[in-house]
């Protein structure tokens, strides 16, 4: 069965530091891959998506992610963290149909 694993339920960085949130997927077929961000008591907002067009995907708010088939990974990065980046981040995968599989989420804390 397809699954998405996010390493680290909590990640803490200092403002201005590199943000790295890890995501691995298990699927025999490279799926569509997504990163969503969720602020408290709000819905999920799409940061970026991988649809096989390019392995390095740029998203909103300075985030980007690289699809590595050999490592079955889709890690999210941002060169310089901002206080406003503090939120919950979900990696997700879709191989077909309608059922998107979500990772457990990673809470990002940004220290001043």
Residues that bind other proteins (CB under 8 A): 32, 34, 36, 41-46, 49, 51-53, 90, 94, 98-100, 102-105
Report the residue number, 18 or 46, with the smaller CB distance to other proteins.
46
CA proximity to 91, closest of 77, 79, 78, 101: 101
Taken in order 93, 98, 99, 105, the sign of the CA dihedral is positive
Least CB distance from residue 89 to other proteins, whole Å? 11
Pairing of strands 10-14, 106-111: parallel
Report the residue number, 70 or 98, with the smaller CB distance to other proteins.
98
CA proximity to 91, closest of 38, 52, 43, 39: 38
Chain center to CA of 8: 12
Least CB distance from residue 16 to other proteins, whole Å? 27
Report the residue number, 15 or 32, with the smaller CB distance to other proteins.
32
Least CB distance from residue 111 to other proteins, whole Å? 20
Report the residue number, 20 or 104, with the smaller CB distance to other proteins.
104
């Amino acid at each position: 069965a397809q699954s998405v694993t996010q390493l680290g339920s909590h990640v803490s960085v200092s403002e201005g530091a590199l943000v790295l949130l890890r995501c691995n997927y298990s699927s025999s077929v490279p799926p569509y891959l997504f990163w969503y961000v969720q602020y408290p008591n709000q819905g999920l907002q799409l940061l970026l998506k991988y649809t096989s067009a390019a392995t390095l995907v740029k998203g909103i708010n300075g985030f980007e992610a690289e699809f590595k088939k050999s490592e079955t990974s889709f890690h999210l990065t941002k060169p310089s963290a901002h206080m406003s980046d503090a939120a919950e981040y979900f990696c997700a995968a879709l191989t077909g149909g309608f059922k998107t599989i979500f990772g457990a989420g990673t809470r990002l804390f940004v220290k001043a």
